[in-house]
Amino acid sequence: MTTPAWIRRYQAARVTLPTWAETTPHRLSYGTNASGVWQLVSWDTTTDRQVTLTDKPTGVLGGQPTPDGAGVVWFDDRAGDEFGRYVRTPFGGGPADALVPGLSDGWSSGLSLRPGRLAVGVSSRDGGFGIHVADDAGVRQVYGHAQPASVGGLSKDASQLAVSHTEHGDVLHPALRVLDAVSGEPVAEVWDGRGNTVSPAAWSPVAGDPRVAILADRTGRMRPEVLDVGDGARRELVIDLPGEIWVADWWPDASALLLGHDHLGRTELLRYDFDSDRAEPLDLTDGTIRGARVRPDGAIWYAFNSSAKPSQVRVRDADADRALLTPPGQPAPEGRAYTSLHYDNGDGDQVHAFLVTPDGEGPFPLVVDVHGGPTAQTEDSFDPQQQSWVDHGYAVLMPNYRGSSGYGKAFEDVLQGDPGRPELVDVLAGRDHLVAAGIADPDRCVLTGASWGGYVTLQAIGTQPRAWSAAVAVVPVADYVAAYADEAPALQEFDRSLFGGSPDDLPELFRERSPITHVGNVTCPVLIVTGANDTRCPKRQVDNYVAALDALGKVYAYDVFEAGHGSYAVDETIRQQTLALDFLAEHLGMPAAQRDRG
């Protein structure tokens, strides 16, 4: 039997960057989809014994070992709804038990594990956000508020707890508070004023060191700083680079930081030495870094990929840079490399995007893929979905529209008070740019996206109906008022900050920026795929939109899968992409999804 390359890219096993136990670093855990569904695996590097710990039908993407390596902690929800509790599975396998017995289920707001003490954040159905500490003295709540907050990490000696909070009412720009982990009393507070972000990144790995690396955007771009909790001093790092920078880890002796540098959808690693006050790039394999950590012996473990090359987990030490963890089975076929480009959006900004085209001469049928978030970005990374479009003859444009992260605070914050407009302007400008360049066929332009990308897709086909020939929206916001009523509390607060209020406060803005308002203008066929248990973009509001399409006699297809905000099952992701390819084949005259032959 011959399996098409696009399917083999989905089926090829992948692994996540491992995490290790603090006091027994030879004991690690990682996630893999080798079984066909993402599950959690323990790994003892002294014996190379690897044990699959979970067997959830909806999958488990990640977890972390307990500090002593006796178990692995992961979040157990109900069929992908993201509502549940942290549990602990023995390192060698066995039944899972509650990490903090008696703690109510909820949505996770972070976890930090240290020897003898842990901190866990939970948000409840009534909208409260609480952070609890558990140790030999019992379990106690050390923080609670109606506004979202999350665990930012316990210090090395577990005496202090960093908390990311939004008590000032701006969920998009959190502040930092450090608490005494025993009493919950505040030790330090850092807030740069409304519209500015300060968030905890990583504590110093040296016991007794009062420093914590933080991220702040008061300069207009996200930059790392070091906060001394003892005296409140903030040390800005001297880094003259474009783009934005994040903290990956500390070196074990706290002499330097491992940083990630994002610029135009690609990421490199830097070593920032405190003595010299200099950031030096690390000479690694070309591509995009998706995560990195420094081992106790100083080796760097990192996850790497590119649009053409499948993901790898690699190690860089004094001897070499080499593959560290190779998944079983055949590797994924390579893909076509993306091209980086900019175009004018007609609204005073340049938009950065990636483009990938099939063999031959244009104009090609075009898929414009809109990323979710909206505070996220499309990167030069390996994506079976984008390569599947190319394999079937489509060019693919992936714009980092206004509202995307990675291009500075002003670019990212432009959606505040104006969601569902700038993104559409930028997406349409990208489509028009490629049509004018002879790359895209104006009569076969498809808009697609998931989550926020699904929202933009549905909003665009109702407000820009002449531009789009077909659409595929996955786990979208489709009826914003109903979505707000049903979504998780953290998402409600996110929407309040994004819009500037609730649907009761701003009924006209929510109505105007809701796809269901414009459903009567839809002229193209649309495929909608959603999760039965989604608490981010709940199913009821999608049902409302689909019912409106049906009542108006629009051309559509609707599919519901048994999970939440996406699927961790390989076969399910292949099934959904097959649906999309076949849907476009039916309505645009393109090839149907390639299938197994033999």
What confidence tens digit (pLDDT) does each residue in 168-185 have?
Answer: 999 999 999 999 999 999
Distance CA 301, CA 322 (A): 10
CATH fit for domain 339-588, picks 3.40.50.720, 1.10.10.10, 3.40.50.1820, 3.40.50.2000: 3.40.50.1820
pLDDT of residue 465: 98
pLDDT of residue 48: 97
Distance CA 211, CA 217 (A): 19
**CATH code of the domain made up of 1-99:** 2.120.10.30
What integer best gives the mean pLDDT of the chain?
97
Distance CA 563, CA 560 (A): 9
pLDDT of residue 598: 66
Q: pLDDT band for 42, please (50, 70, 90 cuts).
A: very high
Distance CA 405, CA 401 (A): 9
pLDDT for 304 beyond 70: yes
- Average pLDDT of 541-560? 98
Residues of the chain with CATH 3.40.50.1820: 339-588
Phi, psi angle pair for 517, to nearest 5°:
-65, -30
Q: pLDDT band for 385, please (50, 70, 90 cuts).
A: very high
Per-residue H/E/C for 121-142: EEECCCCCEEEEEEECCEEEEE
Residues of the chain with CATH 2.120.10.30: 1-99
Is residue 466 packed enough to be buried (19+ CB in 10 Å), middle (13-18) or exposed (0-12)?
exposed
pLDDT for 299 beyond 70: yes
Tens digit of each residue's pLDDT (9 = 90 or more) over 91-114: 999 999 999 999 999 999 999 999
Q: Lowest mean pLDDT of 132-136, 149-153, 326-330, name the range.
A: 326-330
Q: What pTM value is reported for the model? A: 0.97
pLDDT of residue 319: 85
pLDDT for 310 beyond 70: yes
Tens digit of each residue's pLDDT (9 = 90 or more) over 27-41: 999 999 999 999 999
Helix (H) or strand (E) holding 77: strand 71-77
Whether a cis peptide bond, with omega within 30° of 0, leads into 365 is no
Whether a cis peptide bond, with omega within 30° of 0, leads into 200 is no
* pLDDT > 70 fraction of the chain, expressed in percent and rounded: 99
- Average pLDDT of 532-561? 98
Contact 520, 550 (CB under 8 A): no
Instruction: Name the E strands within 124-206.
Output: 129-135, 138-145, 149-154, 160-165, 175-180, 186-190, 198-203
Instruction: Name the E strands within 470-543.
Output: 470-474, 526-531
Token digits of residue 176: 């930092």
pLDDT of residue 285: 67
Token digits of residue 285: 């394999």
Q: Which residues fall within 8 angstroms of residue 134, CB to CB, at 6 or more apart?
A: 100, 117, 118, 119, 120
pLDDT of residue 66: 98
Q: No. of H helices and E strands in the chain?
A: 10, 36
pLDDT for 162 beyond 80: yes
- Average pLDDT of 527-553? 98
pLDDT of residue 318: 86
Tens digit of each residue's pLDDT (9 = 90 or more) over 471-502: 999 999 999 999 999 999 999 999 999 999 99
Q: pLDDT band for 391, please (50, 70, 90 cuts).
A: very high
Tens digit of each residue's pLDDT (9 = 90 or more) over 418-427: 999 999 999 9
- Average pLDDT of 250-254? 98
Tens digit of each residue's pLDDT (9 = 90 or more) over 392-424: 999 999 999 999 999 999 999 999 999 999 999
Closest CA to 478 of 466, 461, 496: 461
pLDDT of residue 397: 98
CA distances in angstroms from 10 to 7, 40, 55, 236, 401, listed in the order given: 5, 19, 20, 42, 27
Helix (H) or strand (E) holding 431: helix 422-436
Distance CA 319, CA 182 (A): 44
